[in-house]
Chain A
Amino acid sequence: QKEVEQNSGPLSVPEGAIASLNCTYSDRGSQSFFWYRQYSGKSPELIMFIYSNGDKEDGRFTAQLNKASQYVSLLIRDSQPSDSATYLCAVSDFGNEKLTFGTGTRLTIIP
Chain B
Amino acid sequence: GAGVSQSPRYKVAKRGQDVALRCDPISGHVSLFWYQQALGQGPEFLTYFQNEAQLDKSGLPSDRFFAERPEGSVSTLKIQRTQQEDSAVYLCASRIGALPPWDTQYFGPGTRLTVL
Contact of B42 among A31, A43, A98, A103 (CB under 8 A): A103
Q: Is the CB of B45 within 8 A of A32?
A: no
- Other than the given A49-B100, A100-B45, 9 more pairs (CB < 8 A) read A31-B100, A43-B91, A49-B104, A88-B42, A97-B33, A97-B55, A98-B45, A98-B56, A103-B41
Interface residues on A, range: 20 to 34
User: Per-residue 0/1 for B46-68: is the Cβ within 8 Å of any A Cβ (1 yes, 0 no)?
Assistant: 00100000011001000000000
Contact of B43 among A32, A44, A46, A94 (CB under 8 A): A44
CB-contacts of A1-51 with B (<8 A): 4, 31-32, 34, 36, 42-46, 49, 51
Contact of A43 among B31, B40, B103, B109 (CB under 8 A): B109
Instruction: Tell whether A97 pairs with B48 under 8 Å between CB atoms, given A34-B104, A42-B109, A44-B43.
Output: yes
Q: Is the CB of A51 within 8 A of B100?
A: yes
Secondary structure of the A contact surface, majority rule: strand
- A90 partner residues in chain B, CB cutoff 8 A: 42
- A43 partner residues in chain B, CB cutoff 8 A: 91, 107-110
Q: Is the CB of A101 within 8 A of B101?
A: no
Contact of B104 among A4, A46, A103 (CB under 8 A): A46
Q: What is the size, in residues, of chain B's interface with A at 8 Å between Cβ atoms?
A: 27
| Min CB gap A8→B, angstroms | 8
Q: Is the CB of B103 within 8 A of A92?
A: yes
The docked-state distance in angstroms from the alpha carbon of A98 to that of B43 is: 11
- B99 partner residues in chain A, CB cutoff 8 A: 94
Q: Name the residue among A34, A92, A103 with the largest chain B CB count within 10 angstroms.
A: A92
| Min CB gap A28→B, angstroms | 17
Q: What residue of chain B has the Cβ atom nearest to residue A52's Cβ?
A: B100
The docked-state distance in angstroms from the alpha carbon of A101 to that of B35 is: 10
Q: What residue of chain B has the Cβ atom nearest to residue A51's Cβ?
A: B100
Q: Name the residue among B35, B98, B103 with the largest chain A CB count within 10 angstroms.
A: B103
| Min CB gap B63→A, angstroms | 20
The docked-state distance in angstroms from the alpha carbon of A98 to that of B103 is: 10
Q: Does B18 contact A (CB under 8 A)?
A: no
